[in-house]
A = this chain, B = another copy of it.
Amino acid sequence: MPESYEEFRSWSPRQRSGILRGPDGRLRALLYAQQFDRALLEQLVALAERIRSAEPEGAFRAALSRALRGRAAALYFQQPSTRTFVSFSLAAQGIGMVTEEIRSPERASLVKGETTLDTLLTLAELSDCVILRHDDPEAIERFAWEIHDRGLPTRLVNAGSGADQHPTQALLDIATLISRFDLSRTDPPLTVGIVGDLRRARTARSLSYLLALYPTVRQVFIAPPDLAMGRDLVTALEERGVTLVETTEFDAVIEELDAVYLTRMQDEYGETSETVRALFGNYRLSSERAARLRPHACVLHPLPRREELPIELDRDPRTRHWEAVHRGRFLRMALLLHMFGKDTTDLS
Given contacts A112-B268, A122-B86, A306-B113, contact A70 B62 (CB under 8 A): yes
Which residues of B sit under 8 angstroms from A65, Cβ to Cβ?
A: 69-70, 96
- Min C-beta distance of A346 to chain B, whole Å: 14
- Min C-beta distance of A98 to chain B, whole Å: 4
Please tell me which stretch of A42-50, A103-111, A190-198, A270-278 contacts chain B, meaning at least 4 of its Cβ atoms lie within 8 angstroms of it.
A103-111
Listed A/B pairs (17) with beta-carbon separation below 8 Å: A80-B108, A80-B112, A81-B108, A82-B108, A82-B109, A82-B114, A82-B119, A82-B122, A83-B122, A86-B127, A89-B98, A89-B100, A103-B107, A104-B107, A112-B268, A115-B311, A125-B328
Given contacts A126-B326, A264-B112, A329-B126, contact A69 B87 (CB under 8 A): no
A-side interface residues toward B, CB under 8 Å?
54-58, 61-62, 64-66, 68-72, 74, 80-83, 85-87, 89-90, 93-94, 96, 98-100, 102-104, 107-115, 117-119, 121-123, 125-128, 150, 264, 268, 303-306, 311, 314, 322, 325-326, 328-329
Q: A86 to B62, Cβ gap below 8 A? A: no
Q: A126 to B325, Cβ gap below 8 A? A: yes
**A71: nearest residue on chain B (CB-CB)?**
B56
- Min C-beta distance of A267 to chain B, whole Å: 9
- Report how many copies the assembly holds: 3
Which residues of B sit under 8 angstroms from A55, Cβ to Cβ?
A: 70
- Min C-beta distance of A240 to chain B, whole Å: 32
Q: A304 to B109, Cβ gap below 8 A? A: yes
Which residues of B sit under 8 angstroms from A70, Cβ to Cβ?
A: 54-58, 61-62, 64-65, 94
